[in-house]
Each structure stands twice: as C-alpha cells, then as structure tokens.
C-alpha cells in the first residue's frame, strides 16, 4: 500500500450523533450491530463491500476500500441521538417495522441502551408530529448551547476520540435562504432573537460545527446550505455534506437518465409517483414538508439532461413527482415511473419502472458510508478545511455545491469523482479510462 498522505489514523472510538431516531437511523444502528455479530452482511455499503482499482488494469490491484483507506472500523462506532419521542432505539425500531423481530431480538441489548436525548423541535417546521421529549429554553441561542452541552457530555461519557453528526430527522418545512442565514454574525444574532426562519436542524448543525463536529444532512432541509453555516464549517475544519439520501426512485432516475442521454435518446416526460406508509410518508403528506422534498427530487433531471446543450432532445420535458401517504405499505414503498422517450426520427417509446423497495434498507448503508467518509474527510488535511464535501455527492439527491457551481447528479460521474478522490488523498494516480497505454 502507498504511504498515506498525512491522513490522521482512525484510532479510538468514533461517536455517531443522530438527530432523529426513527426508521432510517434505527435500521442503520441495528444493521451495524448485526454485522458486528456476524448475523448479516453490510450489503449496499461501498465502504464495507466495495473495491477501488489502482494503477493499470494489468496491475491487478483492487483492494477493498476499507483496507485502502484508513476508515474507522464498525467495532469503533458508538451511537447516540435525539428524538421528540421517549422511545429507546429498540422500541423505535420495533415501531418502524423495517427489520424482523428475530433480528431485532438479537441486537436488542445495544438498541435498548440508546435513549434519545431531549430534542430541539419546532412544530411549525414539522406540522404532523408532536412529542414530549423536547428541550425548553428562553431562546434558540440557549437551545444551541444545550445541544453543545449534550455533544460534549456524550463524547466524555463514551470516551470518544471523534464525533460525526448525521441528520436522520424528519423533513422540515421549506425555507429559502434569507438575510438571517447569510453571515455568521447575522445567524448568531438570529439565534439570540429566536428568529422564526432558523429551523431546528440549523440549531443542531450550528452546535455540531461549533464543537468541530462534521455534519451530514440526510434530509432535503436547507440547514447548512447557507453562508453562515458554510463559513463556520470552514473556520472550524468541520466538513458538511448533503442533502437528502439518494435511495429509491431518485437513485433509479440518476441511473437511467445518464444512460438515455449518453445514447442521445430524447425525453418528453417523466412521471414519478410513490406510495409510502411510514412516518416519513406521513410527514411528507404535509404540503410544506413535501415542498422541501419536491425541490430536492425535481432538480435531478434538469442537471443530468442539460436541456440548454441539447434543446432537440430535452427542451420542455415534463417532470412530475408525487408522494402519496398510504399506511398499509409501511416502510415498503412502491415507486412507479412512466418515462416517455423518443428515438431516431422522433419516434416515441415508453419505459415503465415499478420499484418495490424498502426505504430504510436502502438508506441505512448510505448513512454508514457517509459517517465513515465524513470522519475520514476531517482527518484528511486536504479535505477538512473545504467545508462542502462535494466528492460525497454520490450519496445525495440534492448535492451541496458552492454558490455558482451546478451540482453533479449523474451517478456514474459521482462514482468516478468519489473513487478518484479516494485515490488522490492516498497519493495514487487518478484513473481517466483513456487506456491508450495498453496498445503501445
């Protein structure tokens, strides 16, 4: 293995702090524990199962990513979090009904030991939920200080060397960035004045970044996508990434659309609808939370297909996304896509996708990869001061980018960017796939 380029070792314990101990996070935690006990395999996790090719094809060097990069091992992870409900993680996982009872019984000791800390919550941001386990304080500033205290206490009580925070809480009501989010001074004044446009997720992110803890955003909430928090992230060498885990229907979209474009097939319409019966579905049934999700889901095709470059193929395609709350299905979502495409001489064709997926089963390995790679980013001199970790766009529906830079949505470009970043930080040659050297 080539010598590491100054990346600090992944020694000691890594604490994972999670606002929102619901379906995704309990499936993530239970899964890590199941893998640690040899009860199941970490399917879907690139860091645990994937390899990275190094050098020429003829070199035959394809180490496992977890052996190539100095990542924290699963045995080094400890978990904690906040929720508005008092249920411990075993009760929350049982209520979520994602994993079967036998598996849950085998990981019960760990799950039962994780009791949510009282949450920072504001019902105006999540209209469909209300719970008793909520902090009370005179101002949003005081709530941020209480969260900072929670973070420090968790770190000390669990003997953690480092922490990563990952938002797995509900989708909040839509907010556009405003003056209060523009600079750190304005944001801190806004916290003290309990400004209504400061959402709970922003208070968690502020607390994390002030404590030097990286923050990953699993939901489409605005949160760190603001001047104030991006500035804080850079100042404190606490990376951020997001937004919104790329899982079911959007994952399929970012697999299919690049293929259609690569072959210059046109698109006249893409209609996507879902039925979903978990708590996330219930929250998204509220139009204000749905608007946040819709913005995240809609931007994908526009960026991949680039209608401005290919007006004959993609100008004015019709794109619609619907999410319907349908309790009988629970976490087992069904997503339908009807795709109207056209080919040679404009002749129309149709593609139908019916994806019977399991939302949290798709999201849990993403959460695992993201926390391990965010911890790596903070230990990597070249990455830690960047703020946004754009190389992790692979995992998100709505990747954060600096102002003026459009996000890359194509899963295959994202994957190449991710793996080239891994090679680069370990001093390996990047791979261009030119391949002329094989024909010398």
Ligand X SMILES: NC(=O)c1ccc[n+]([C@@H]2O[C@H](COP(=O)([O-])OP(=O)(O)OC[C@H]3O[C@@H](n4cnc5c(N)ncnc54)[C@H](O)[C@@H]3O)[C@@H](O)[C@H]2O)c1
Q: In whole angstroms, how close is the CB of 411 to ligand X at the nearest point?
A: 15
Is the backbone of residue 221 left (phi > 0), alpha (psi -120 to 50) or beta? beta
Is the backbone of residue 387 left (phi > 0), alpha (psi -120 to 50) or beta? left
Is there a contact between 196 and 124 (Cβ–Cβ < 8 Å)? yes
Q: In whole angstroms, how close is the CB of 20 to ligand X at the nearest point?
A: 3
The enclosing H or E element of 281 equals: helix 279-284
The residue among 83 and 334 lying less far from ligand X, judged by its C-beta, is: 83
Q: In whole angstroms, how close is the CB of 120 to ligand X at the nearest point?
A: 6
If you write DSSP's letter for every residue of 388-426 in order, what string do you get?
B-GGGGGGBSS----TT-PPP--HHHHHHHHHHHHHHHT
Is there a contact between 267 and 313 (Cβ–Cβ < 8 Å)? yes
Is there a contact between 78 and 14 (Cβ–Cβ < 8 Å)? yes
List residues binding ligand X (CB under 6 A). 19-24, 82-85, 96, 119-121, 126, 129, 131, 168-171, 200, 218-219, 244-245, 247-248, 278-280, 283, 359-360, 362-363
The residue among 172 and 408 lying less far from ligand X, judged by its C-beta, is: 172
Q: In whole angstroms, how close is the CB of 397 to ligand X at the nearest point?
A: 7
Q: Please state, in angstroms and rounded to a whole number, the distance separating the CA atoms of residues 379 and 387.
A: 13
Neighbouring C-beta atoms of residue 353, cutoff 10 Å? 14
The residue among 216 and 230 lying less far from ligand X, judged by its C-beta, is: 216
The residue among 93 and 230 lying less far from ligand X, judged by its C-beta, is: 93
The residue among 20 and 239 lying less far from ligand X, judged by its C-beta, is: 20
The residue among 260 and 364 lying less far from ligand X, judged by its C-beta, is: 364
The residue among 23 and 228 lying less far from ligand X, judged by its C-beta, is: 23
Is there a contact between 209 and 232 (Cβ–Cβ < 8 Å)? yes
Q: In whole angstroms, how close is the CB of 198 to ligand X at the nearest point?
A: 12
Give residue number: closest CB to ligand X.
22
Q: Is 142 exposed, middle or buried (0-12, 13-18, 19+ CB in 10 A)?
A: middle
The residue among 244 and 408 lying less far from ligand X, judged by its C-beta, is: 244
Please give the sequence-ordered ranges of beta strands (E in DSSP) within 56-156, or none if there are none.
Answer: 77-83, 117-118
Q: In whole angstroms, how close is the CB of 15 to ligand X at the nearest point?
A: 17
End-to-end CA distance of the chain: 27
Neighbouring C-beta atoms of residue 326, cutoff 10 Å? 15
Q: In whole angstroms, how close is the CB of 217 to ligand X at the nearest point?
A: 9
Burial 242-281 (b: 16+ CB within 10 A, else e): bbbbbbbbbbbbbebbbebbeeeebbeebebebbbbbbbb
Q: In whole angstroms, how close is the CB of 199 to ligand X at the nearest point?
A: 8
């Amino acid at each position: 293995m080539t010598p590491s380029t100054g990346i600090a070792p992944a020694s000691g314990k890594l604490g994972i702090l999670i606002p929102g101990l619901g379906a995704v996070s309990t499936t993530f935690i239970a899964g890590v524990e199941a893998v640690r006990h040899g009860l199941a395999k970490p399917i879907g996790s690139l860091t645990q199962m994937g390899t990275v090719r190094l050098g020429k094809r003829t070199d035959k060097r394809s180490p496992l990513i977890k052996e190539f990069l100095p990542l924290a091992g699963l045995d080094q992870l400890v978990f904690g979090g906040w929720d508005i409900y008092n249920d411990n993680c075993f009760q929350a996982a049982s209520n979520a009904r994602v994993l079967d009872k036998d598996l849950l019984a085998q990981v019960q000791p760990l799950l039962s030991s994780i009791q949510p800390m009282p949450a920072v919550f504001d019902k105006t941001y999540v209209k469909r939920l209300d719970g008793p386990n909520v902090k009370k304080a005179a101002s949003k500033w005081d709530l941020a200080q209480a969260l900072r205290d929670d973070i420090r206490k968790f770190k000390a009580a669990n003997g953690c060397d480092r922490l990563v925070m990952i938002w797995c809480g509900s989708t909040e009501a839509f907010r556009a960035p405003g003056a209060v989010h523009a600079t750190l001074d304005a944001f801190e004044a806004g916290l003290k004045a309990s400004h209504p446009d400061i959402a709970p997720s922003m208070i968690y992110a502020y607390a994390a970044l002030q404590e030097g803890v990286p923050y990953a955003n699993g939901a489409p909430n605005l949160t760190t996508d603001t001047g104030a928090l991006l500035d804080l992230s850079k100042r404190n060498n606490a990376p951020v990434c997001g937004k919104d885990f790329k899982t079911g229907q959007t994952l399929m979209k970012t697999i299919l659309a690049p293929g259609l474009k690569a072959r210059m097939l046109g698109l006249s319409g893409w209609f996507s609808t879902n039925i979903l019966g978990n708590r996330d579905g219930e929250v998204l049934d509220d139009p204000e939370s749905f608007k946040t999700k819709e913005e995240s889901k809609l931007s994908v095709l526009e960026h991949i297909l680039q209608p401005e470059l290919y007006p004959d193929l993609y100008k004015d395609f019709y794109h619609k996304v619907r999410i319907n709350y349908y309790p009988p299905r629970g976490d087992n979502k069904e997503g339908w896509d009807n795709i109207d495409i056209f080919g040679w001489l404009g002749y129309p064709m149709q593609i139908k996708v019916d994806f019977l997926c399991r939302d949290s089963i798709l999201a849990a390995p993403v959460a695992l990869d993201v926390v391990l790679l965010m911890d790596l980013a903070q230990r990597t001199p070249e990455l830690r001061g960047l703020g946004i970790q754009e190389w992790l766009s692979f995992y998100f529906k709505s990747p954060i980018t600096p102002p003026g830079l459009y996000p890359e949505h194509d899963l295959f470009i994202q994957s190449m960017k991710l793996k080239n970043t891994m090679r680069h930080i370990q001093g390996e040659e990047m791979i261009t796939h030119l391949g002329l050297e094989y024909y010398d």
